[in-house]
Amino acid sequence: MKDISKYAHSLAHVAVARCDHAALRHLVSMIPCLAKAGEGETPLHLMVRLRDAISANILMATGADCPLQKPGFAAFALIT
């Protein structure tokens, strides 16, 4: 991924886009729970597009929504 500027609004998105697993682990360790997915691309959606299984495991362990109710996305089906 070359241009991550569109993810500057979210440190979690930036960490996933950079495949910076240490930063992602640190971020999720500082929050009590993940926000529910709303409209738009979540860090988990981005991870699926990048096929980053390590980020998937980190996010899933902190309560990310596994089914990803967004057309064309199924987290583990796409990365396993």
Residue extents of the structural domains in the chain: 5-79
The pLDDT of residue 76 is 47
Distance CA 31, CA 73 (A): 25
pLDDT, tens digit (0-9, with 9 covering 90-100), for 10-56: 888 899 899 999 998 898 888 766 656 666 777 777 877 888 888 88
Ramachandran quadrant class, 69 (left: phi over 0; alpha: psi -120 to 50; beta: rest): beta
Q: Is the pTM of this model over 0.75?
A: no
**Cα distance between residue 62 and residue 58, in whole Å:** 7
